[in-house]
Amino acid sequence: MAEEARRSTRHRVLKAGTIEFGGGAIDCTIRNLSASGAALQVESQTGIPDQFTLAVPADRLHRPCHVAWRKSTRLGVAFD
């Protein structure tokens, strides 16, 4: 198995989030979260830019981030 490439350990979560960008906002589910990034589940990746702000109302979190990887209805982001 390949060595872990992430800078910090991710913890499994199930939280509502919003992908916010200049053209609007898209709801997402945060599947795991760490100090350096997160994995998000979305209905569709159509229209999601490479850079956006991730809002997590439950944690009062508002973090600018960029997409590190994309797979079907999931995407990984790294916080800027």
Q: How far is CA 19 from the centre of its chain?
A: 8
pLDDT for 62-78, tens place per residue? Answer: 999 999 999 999 999 99
Task: Determine the pLDDT at residue 8.
Answer: 67
Cβ contacts of 59 within 8 Å, gap of 6 or more: 15
- Cα 69 to Cα 55: distance, rounded to the nearest angstrom: 19
pLDDT for 14-45, tens place per residue? Answer: 999 999 999 899 999 999 999 999 999 999 99
Record the pTM.
0.86
Task: Determine the pLDDT at residue 10.
Answer: 73
Residue ranges and CATH numbers for the domains of the chain are 15-79 (2.40.10.430)
- Cα 36 to Cα 65: distance, rounded to the nearest angstrom: 9
Residue 13 tokens, joined = 């979560």
